[in-house]
Amino acid sequence: MALLSVEHVTKRFGGVVAVEDVSLGVESGQIAGLIGPNGAGKTTLFNLITGLYRPDSGEIAFEGETLLRTPPHRIVRRGVARTFQNVELFPTMTVLENVLVGRHSRGERPASELLGELGLDAVAQRRTGSLPFGTMKRVELARALASGPRLLLLDEPAGGLGHEEVDELGALISRIRSSFDLTVLLVEHHMNLVMGVADRVHVLDFGRKIAEGPPAEVQRNPVVIEAYLGSERPQHATA
Ligand SMILES: Nc1ncnc2c1ncn2[C@@H]1O[C@H](COP(=O)(O)OP(=O)(O)OP(=O)(O)O)[C@@H](O)[C@H]1O
Ligand SMILES: [Mg+2]
């Protein structure tokens, strides 16, 4: 049984079908990539999994039980944590305080251990808003880990990072998967990163799932290449 299962999920915003009949499963322990051109529906799918939005139809289950009647804060308690495409931290709070916000009864790891694991020891007492962007992204990751998740959803963790930072992030994601016994669903435009760390890759385009498979296979799939080549197109199609 998949740890996370998304079945025939559809979400509309007015005339826009942001997610259309999408099904995917993420197995326990996997790092799964979720890719697709801008506006493909990746963040919307994260918002559906975390309960910020509810699907118009379809089912989302975690550990075999539906998430659709669970409010967002309880979805976190059930073991699903995320980071955001646009970093969402409390800028005037310190790094340590931001990480402590992520903790609740389920989180067993002391914040100090998390800060160490993510190389944030030295900045623990700094105000988050004064830190470089790449460091803020690691703070957000630490906060997500502080809730003791089984499933971690990362929405473009490499966005805005330099080349070296992206390489380090890939290594970090693999390392935390093992050390925190995590399953990861990774949204990323940075192909080298996704293809380097993912066990399996799912591809969305215009809200629909167009491909799924091992990274090397997905990378040479003509349908996927075409979706990316054609992605210089103006706006998301309306239904
Ligand atoms: N709250 C909303 N209200 C209206 N339309 C929305 C809303 N959220 C998303 N959309 C639309 O749904 C579609 C999918 O958007 P989404 O943000 O999920 O794409 P994405 O794959 O995350 O793109 P990106 O790679 O640019 O982050 C887009 O057409 C977007 O404009
Ligand atoms: Mg997005």
**Nearest protein Cα to ligand 1, atom 9:** 44
Give the count of alpha carbons within 13 A of 12, CB side only: 7
Q: Do the domain assignments include residue 193?
A: no
Which ligand minimizes its atom distance to the CA of 236? 1
**Residues, Cβ < 5 Å to ion ligand 2:** 42-43, 85
CATH classification of the domain holding 55:
3.40.50.300
Cα(236) to centroid of ligand 1, in Å?
Answer: 9
Domain that holds residue 56: 1-78+198-239
Of the candidates 33, 11, 4, the residue with the CA atom closest to the CA atom of residue 202: 33
Cα(191) to centroid of ligand 2, in Å?
Answer: 15
The amino acid at residue 74 is R
Cα(41) to centroid of ligand 2, in Å?
Answer: 7
Cα(113) to centroid of ligand 2, in Å?
Answer: 30
State how beta strands 200-205 and 31-35 pair. parallel
**This prediction's pTM:** 0.92
SS3 readout for the chain: CCCEEEEEEEEEECCEEEEEEEEEEECCCCEEEEECCCCCCHHHHHHHHCCCCCCCEEEEEECCEECCCCCHHHHHHCCEEECCCCCCCCCCCEHHHHHHHCCCCCCCCCHHHHHHHCCCHHHCCCEHHHCCHHHHHHHHHHHHHHCCCCEEEEECCCCCCCHHHHHHHHHHHHHHHHHCCCEEEEECCCHHHHHHHCCEEEEEECCEEEEEECHHHHHCCHHHHHHHHHHHCCCCCCC
Q: Do the domain assignments include residue 118?
A: no
Q: Do the domain assignments include residue 151?
A: no
Quick check: CB of 40 below 6 Å from ligand 1?
Answer: yes
d(CA 232, CA 235): 9
Quick check: CB of 38 below 6 Å from ligand 1?
Answer: yes
Q: Do the domain assignments include residue 166?
A: no
Q: Do the domain assignments include residue 89?
A: no
Q: Do the domain assignments include residue 41?
A: yes
Q: Do the domain assignments include residue 62?
A: yes
Return per-residue pLDDT of the chain as tens, 239 residues.
Answer: 899 999 999 999 999 999 999 999 999 999 999 999 999 999 999 999 999 999 999 999 999 999 999 999 999 999 999 999 888 899 999 999 998 887 765 556 788 889 999 999 999 999 999 999 989 999 999 999 999 999 999 999 998 898 899 999 999 999 999 999 999 999 999 999 999 999 999 999 999 999 999 999 999 999 999 998 876 544 444 33
Q: Do the domain assignments include residue 11?
A: yes
Cα separation values, 117 from 107, 110, 220, Å: 15, 11, 35
Is residue 4 a contact partner of residue 26, using CB atoms and an 8 Å limit? Answer: yes
Atom of ligand 1 nearest to the CA of 40: 21
Count of domains observed in the chain: 1
d(CA 141, CA 82): 8
Q: Can you read off the two tokens belonging to residue 101?
A: 């916000």
Atom of ligand 1 nearest to the CA of 204: 21
